[in-house]
A and B are shown apart, each in its own frame.
Chain A
Amino acid sequence: MMTKYDRVLLAREKERPTAGNYISNLVTHFVEMHGDRRYGDDRAVIAGIGLLEDEAVTLIGIEKGHDTKEKIECNFGSAHPEGYRKALRQMKLAEKFHRPVICIIDTAGAYCGIGAEERGEGQAIAENLMEMMMLKTPVISIVIGEGGSGGALALAVADEVWMLSNAYYSVVSPESCANILWKDTNKAAQAADALKLTATDLLEMSVIERIVEEPRQYQYDIQNDIFYGNLKKDLLGKIQALESLDVEQLLENRYEKYRKIGRNNRVTI
C-alpha cells in the first residue's frame, strides 16, 4: 500500500513528464509567448497558444526542465513574480479573444529569493488570485506533479482543478511542516498524512474536481498516446461544457465553488 509520502516522492520523480511535455502532446501549432511586459521573461513559466484539436486554447505551465541546463534556466520550476505576471498577461489575452485557459502546474513553490521579494512575489500571486476569480473565460488547472502552496494556487484558481493520481497539492511541504511542528524533517511522512495532500484526499474535500489516472505510476512514456489522448478528450469535453454557460453563470459557479470551502463554518450577516 502506497503511503501519502510515497506519492509526494513520486510527484517529485525526475523522470516525470514536465509541463512542456504535456503542452507538446496535447496541442498542435503551439506559439510560445515570452515576457511579462514589466521586467523580464521568467523561464519557469511557459505560456502560449495552441490548438486542442480545432479549439484555440491558452496554455500556461510551470516548467521544471529536464537536464541540468534547463533546470537551472527555469529555476527548477519555481517562478519569480515575472512568471506569474507573464501568466496573467496571457490570461487577459485569453479573456479578450475568448479562449479557454489550461494551466499545468508542477512547482515546489514560488521562488524564494531577494529579487523575487523585491519585485513583489506576494503582490503578483495576489493579483492572479483576484483576476482569476473573475476571468471571463473558462479555466482548467491540472496539477501534474508538485502543487506547492501559494506558488501553485496562483495558477489554480479555476472552474475545475484536476490532479494526476500521484501528484500532491499542499499548503506547505511535508518537510517544512514536520520541521515547524516537530523540529524534525524525518517526520515528513507523518506530516504528509496529516496534511491530506493527495488527489484522493482533495477530491473528497472538494478542493479538486477530478483525478487523472497515471499509467504505471510516473513511469509512463512521455509520448504515451493513450494517456494524452484521453486527457485531451476530457479537456475538450469539459471546455465545451464550460463554454455552454453564459459568462455570468460561469463566474458565479466559480465564485460559489471557492465560497463553499470551509463551509462548516459558513456564516451569514
Chain B
Amino acid sequence: MNLRGLFKSADNVLEGSPNKNDGTGKTEEKSYVYECPNCKSMLTRQGVREHDYSCPECDYYFHISARKRILMYADSKSFDELMAGVESENIIGFPEYDQKLLDARKKSGEKEGVVCGRITIGKMPCCIFSMDANFMMGSMGTVVGEKITALFEYATRQQLPVIGVTVSGGARMQEGMLSLLQMAKVSGAVKKHSDAGLLYVVLMTNPTTGGVEASFAMEGDIILAEPNALIGFAGPRVIQQTLKKKLPKGFQRSEALLKCGFVDDIVRRIEQREYLEQLLLLHGGRAQ
C-alpha cells in the first residue's frame, strides 16, 4: 500500500483540465504545447489524444481516466453504464476518510474508483470494468468490490465476457478488513463466471499492485499488460526497504512478468482495441 509516489504522474496535463473537449476547443488544443515527460518531444493535446493518450514519439503512456479508457475501446455510443450512482460511506468510521472521499470524487469526477458497464467492441457485446487511478489511488473498498462482483454476476446471467482494466494500489485501508474481504468476494464471482464457461480478459495498467493484483487482476483467462506497467504484490519501495538492497532493473515491470510467465501478452495502447476485438471474436463473439 506504500505507493504514494507512483501516482504523482496522474496529475498530468491531460487530466482534470477545464477544457473537456469533444471536438470543440481544437484551436486551443493545437496551440497548447507541452513536453513529453519521457522523451521531451513537444506534444499537442490533440496529437496525444489521437494516439490513444500515448506519446506519438516514444509511446510514453499518460494516465487516463477509467471512463476515457472505456470509451477508447467501445464502439461509438455503445457504452451503457451500470451501477453509476453507488457511493461509498465511511463504513467503519475511519478518521479523515469522509474528506478523502470528497476529495477523490472531486479529483476524479467519479462517484467511486471503478466504472462498470456494457459495451460493444466491433459490435460484439461484453461487460467492462475500468478502475480509476485518480480515485484514492485506485484502491478497492467495499463499493469497488461490490460493483465488480455484481458486474460478474450480471455477466454470468447474461452469458457475456468480461474485460477488466486494472490500476490500483491495493485494498483500501480506510475500510479495514471489509476491504480485504472484497478480494475473496470478487474471486467467488469470477470463479462462478469462469465455471459458466465465460471469458474474462484482464488488462493490467500502471500500477496494479497489492490486493487487486493478488485477486481479480491475476484471475483472468487471458492476462494482458500495458508496456512497462508496475505489477506486483508488494510495492517496490517496501521490498527495497525490507531487503536493504537495490532491486534489479525492470523488476516488477510488465516485460519481467511476461518473462516469468505471469502475463500472456503485452499490448501497446494504440493496439488494444483491436486486440480485444480479436479476442472476443476468437471466443465466439457475434456482432449484434
Residue positions of A touching B, CB distance < 8 A:
110, 112-114, 116-123, 125-127, 129-134, 149-150, 153-154, 157, 169-172, 176-177, 179-181, 190, 194-197, 202, 205, 207, 254-255, 258-259, 261-262, 264-269
Contacts and interface: CB of A to CB of B under 8 A. Distances in A.
B119 to A, nearest CB: 15
B6 interface: no
Nearest to B247: A114
A130 B219 contact: yes
Contacts of A153: 180-181, 183-184
Contacts of A264: 89, 91, 142
Give the interface size bracket for B toward A.
Answer: 35 or more
Nearest to A152: B180
Interface string B159-184: 00000000000011101111111111
Interface stretch (B11-19, B28-36, B232-240): B232-240
A126 B214 contact: yes
A255 B252 CA distance: 32
B179 A171 contact: yes
Nearest to A117: B232
A134 B189 CA distance: 10
Among B88, B151, B179, B185, the one with the most A-chain Cβ atoms within 10 Å of its Cβ is B185
B145 interface: yes
B195 A134 contact: yes
A5 B55 CA distance: 49
A262 B218 contact: no
Interface in B173-213: 173, 175-185, 187-188, 190-192, 194-195, 210-211, 213
A-B pairs with lowest CB-CB distance, top 4:
A262-B142, A122-B233, A126-B218, A133-B188
Contact of A130 (B176, B180, B190, B251): B190
Interface of B: 1-2, 4, 82-83, 86, 88-89, 91-92, 94-96, 141-143, 145-147, 149-151, 154, 171-173, 175-185, 187-188, 190-192, 194-195, 210-211, 213-219, 232-234, 238-239, 242-243, 247-248, 251-252, 256, 260-262
Among A125, A177, A202, A258, the one with the most B-chain Cβ atoms within 10 Å of its Cβ is A258
Nearest to B88: A265
B176 A127 contact: no
A255 B189 CA distance: 8
Given A126-B216, A261-B185, A114 B248 contact: yes
Given A134-B195, A265-B143, A267-B146, A180 B86 contact: no
A228 to B, nearest CB: 27
Contact of A171 (B149, B176, B261): B176
Given A154-B214, A176-B1, A262-B143, 11 more contacts: A113-B242, A117-B251, A118-B260, A119-B260, A121-B232, A130-B188, A150-B211, A170-B180, A195-B94, A195-B173, A205-B178
